[in-house]
A and B are shown apart, each in its own frame.
Chain A
Amino acid sequence: QVQLQESGPGLVKPSETLSLTCTVSTGSITRFFWGWIRQPPGQGLEWIGYISYSGNTNYNPSLKSRVTMSLDTPKNQFSLRLKSVTALDTAVYYCARGEWLFDYWGQGVLVTVSS
């Protein structure tokens, strides 16, 4: 059973950078695609992007100018950085396995953007 766990600060100040890490247990991240999805409180799901096992990325155009994803294969982790955040970036952030759809998800982490 693949398990994913997000970690990172729960509070980020406006204009700063949101940084999250997803740790994958059971299996190597060098075999699949890995994605990030977010969900503002009480709202629906928004795809942020993915990073492939080889490090190729594909981002949602609505966020592309602010997003960076990376792999840390020795630690079996992948990461999300979202710069210049505003209150509109407040959401539960999920990491998940998949390129076109997502079969394993982390439990999610609430990130609040506030001063």
Chain B
Amino acid sequence: DIQVTQSPSSVSASVGDRVTITCRTSQGINSWLAWYQQKPGKAPKLLIYAASTLPSGVPSRFSGSGSGTDFTLTISSLQPEDFATYYCQQANNFPLTFGQGTRLEIK
């Protein structure tokens, strides 16, 4: 199985801050990576796919980059509704695997 490691596991930030979350995979996956946002008690929401593509309706303050084994999710200017847990997921090999999550908290 491909191991997916996120860092940090948690981060505190303020509204307006720029935040970057990193995802590393145990083997190269080209650009087959997705990011999800999950709020407490809710299902995950697809945020980014193919490493850098935003689905319709996702705000442009979210961006993704990377290929191979190293990927980043960046939120350019945090909004109150962005405080949540973020997961990356490799979409290159079965079984699909997720990172352990990064909890983004209000400072």
Show the binding face of A for B, using Cβ within 8 Å. 44-47, 58, 60-62, 94, 96, 100-103, 105-108
**A-B pairs with the 6 shortest C-beta distances?**
A105-B43, A100-B91, A47-B96, A45-B98, A101-B34, A60-B95
Closest chain B CB from A39 CB (angstroms): 9
Which residue of chain B is the closest to A95 with respect to CB atoms?
Answer: B43
Q: Which of B42, B46, B94 contacts A103 (CB 8 A)?
A: B46
Q: List 7 A-B contacts (CB under 8 A).
A: A44-B98, A44-B100, A45-B98, A47-B96, A58-B94, A101-B34, A102-B44
Is B71 on the interface with A (CB-CB < 8 A)? no
Which chain B residues lie closer than 8 Å to A96 at the CB level? Answer: 43
A-B contact count (CB 8 A): 44
Interface of A is mostly: loop
Which residue of chain B is the closest to A49 with respect to CB atoms?
Answer: B95
Which chain A residues lie closer than 8 Å to B46 at the CB level? Answer: 101-103
Is B59 on the interface with A (CB-CB < 8 A)? no
Closest chain B CB from A14 CB (angstroms): 25
Interface of B is mostly: loop
Which residue of chain A is the closest to B4 with respect to CB atoms?
Answer: A44
How long is the Cα–Cα vector from A58 to B89 in the complex, in angstroms? Answer: 17
How long is the Cα–Cα vector from A101 to B36 in the complex, in angstroms? Answer: 10
* Interface size grouping (class) on chain B: 20 to 34
How long is the Cα–Cα vector from A112 to B46 in the complex, in angstroms? Answer: 26
Which residue of chain A is the closest to B94 with respect to CB atoms?
Answer: A58
Which residue of chain B is the closest to A62 with respect to CB atoms?
Answer: B95
Closest chain A CB from B60 CB (angstroms): 19
Decide: A45 near B89, CB < 8 A? Known: A58-B94, A103-B55: yes
Is B49 on the interface with A (CB-CB < 8 A)? yes
Additional 16 contacts, C-beta under 8 A, given A58-B94, A100-B96, A101-B89: A44-B87, A44-B100, A45-B44, A45-B101, A47-B98, A61-B95, A62-B95, A101-B49, A101-B91, A102-B36, A103-B46, A105-B43, A105-B44, A105-B45, A107-B43, A108-B43
